[in-house]
Amino acid sequence: MSFEDFSAAGATDIVNGEHLLLGGTPPGWKGEYQVCPAPFYKRRYTWDGDLIMGCTIGCDFCYYRWINNSVDTIGKGKRGLRKIATPRRAVQFLEQSKLFKAGRDIIMLAARSDGSMQVQEITEFLRIFPHESPVFILHRAPFGERQLESWGGDSRAVFCTTITPDSPEFRGSPVKPPQQIAGLKRLIEAGISARRISVMLGPLNSNNVAEGVKTIEELAEMDMKFLTYRGCSVGNLGIAPENDKLRETGFLDGGQDEKSSPSGHQYYKMKNWLSAEVEEAVLRAASDNGLRVHRHTGTLYRDEFGMPIAYNRNNRSRSGELGQWGKVNPDRIEKYLIWLGYHPRSIRETEEGYLVELPPNEVATEDVAMTVGCEFRTSVLFNNHRIAPTLGDLKFYAKNHLFWPLPKGWETIKG
């Protein structure tokens, strides 16, 4: 079904506050205000944001194809690109947001786009961003001389790319691995340290894992040191995935649990699903070729880039994946939460981490929970928790400048 059909069927709703910050009001919105997206729309392990939204590449399995306020920006050529913020406004947004802390936090640019669509804007962001925080630049297109000249001299800039192994059984991305590998070689030959290059291998399934193993071997030959790998994800915020097409292109391989999303998500129907056999092949290839691999980005940021991380995720301890969370005086957590605008009633240590009891009218979103966990390098859980902020939660964000300033007209939007 086309976007126009979904719009006519009423798929112009804004589901929650994060949805609004991600893409603003969708085409066909009948409200009084047309609200623009925020420069940065969520804070998990990283601050995810953009200066320009949209991508001309248009992979069939792109997350943003299944969201009603971003679908019109994916694979529509330059006419689909939307300017979100000037570099200066994006920097100001971070500096005025209480949840941001320079030096502690990682910035992720081109989270809803591709770095190749905004080279000049990213270069200007780096020029005026005064902090030592790493800036990860997502860039599926092959890296070229322009990117090298623009970002190579800034040690904070990390060249990030997602390589999707291509096979006769798995298609769906116009960008092919050989060109991406050539772009990475160009960076290394020009003197960019492999430690400033972050490769995500995926999405992987039974249809392309053999090619994924070959990609691992190629990366090792280039003297790459580490990579992250991921499975397949499917979601829906107003735009149903074209499952028949996803099966035809090999993204859905018939063996996945297509209803495996963790509870609490309003977007994901299947999240980062990977079979044991596929994962075993990846791990074996990495071990044979001397590459460190990360299933979770938390270990990537901590172990490869030396950044602090939260040990909580989705209101549970992630000690099984990340290791033991650190001990901290609960009084420090209490003081920090009060500074953020909360009124904690109690904080006690449990087997899962530090459990914070908030009054009934206060909720910690995942943006907040992961910020607090990161601040103290521990696991912080809440009696009242939501993964994504509701539209009502944005009032708390605005009052306490957790994300600030919010886009003009945000307060007029009703779910």
C-alpha dist (Å) from residue 171 to 66, 166, 248, 342: 18, 6, 9, 48
Q: What is the reported pLDDT for 266?
A: 85
What pLDDT, in 10s, does the model give residues 40-52?
Answer: 999 999 999 999 9
The mean pLDDT of 151-156, rounded to a whole number, is: 98
pLDDT per position as a tens digit, 338-347: 999 999 999 9
Question: Residue 415 — very low, low, confident or very high, per pLDDT cuts 50/70/90?
Answer: low
What pLDDT score was predicted for residue 265? Answer: 82
- The residue length of the chain stands at 415
Alpha-carbon distance of 276 to 272, in angstroms, equals 13
Q: Is 222 exposed, middle or buried (0-12, 13-18, 19+ CB in 10 A)?
A: middle
CATH tag, 3-305: 3.20.20.70
| CA-closest candidate to residue 143, choices 216, 198, 73, 202 | 198
Angle ∠(112,148,134) on CA atoms, nearest 5 = 55
Six-digit token string for 103: 């030096």
Q: Which residues in 193-327 belong to E strands, given as ranges?
A: 197-201, 226-229, 232-235, 268-273, 292-294, 312-313, 316-317
Q: What pLDDT sits at residue 172?
A: 87
pLDDT category at 7 given cuts 50, 70, 90 is very low
In the DSSP assignment, the letter for residue 227 is E
State the average pLDDT over residues 122-139: 98
SS3 label, residue 226? strand
DSSP string, 50-78: -SEEBBSS--TT-GGGGBTTTGGGBSSGG
Express each pLDDT in 358-407 by its tens digit. Answer: 999 999 999 999 999 999 999 999 999 999 999 999 999 999 999 999 99
Rounded average pLDDT over 29-38:
92
Q: Is the pLDDT of residue 84 over 70?
A: yes
Q: What pLDDT, in 10s, does the model give residues 160-211?
A: 999 999 999 999 899 999 999 999 999 999 999 999 999 999 999 999 999 9
Return d(Cα 109, Cα 116) in angstroms, integer.
11
First to last CA, the chain: 23
**Mean per-residue pLDDT for 54-81?**
96
Q: Each residue of 198-237: pLDDT tens digit?
A: 999 999 999 999 999 999 999 999 999 999 999 999 999 9
Region 78-86 average pLDDT: 96
Instruction: Give the per-residue pLDDT at 10.
Output: 44
Q: How many helices (H) and strands (E) does the chain have?
A: 15, 19
Pick 109 or 264 by higher pLDDT. Answer: 109
pLDDT digit string, tens, across residues 233-291: 999 999 999 999 999 999 999 999 898 877 788 899 999 999 999 999 999 999 999 99
Q: Cα angle at 211 between 206 and 216, to 5 degrees?
A: 115
CA–CA separation, 98 and 406 (whole Å) = 13
pLDDT at 11: 66
Angle of helix 276-288 versus helix 209-221 axis, rounded to 10:
20
The pLDDT assigned to 80 comes to 96
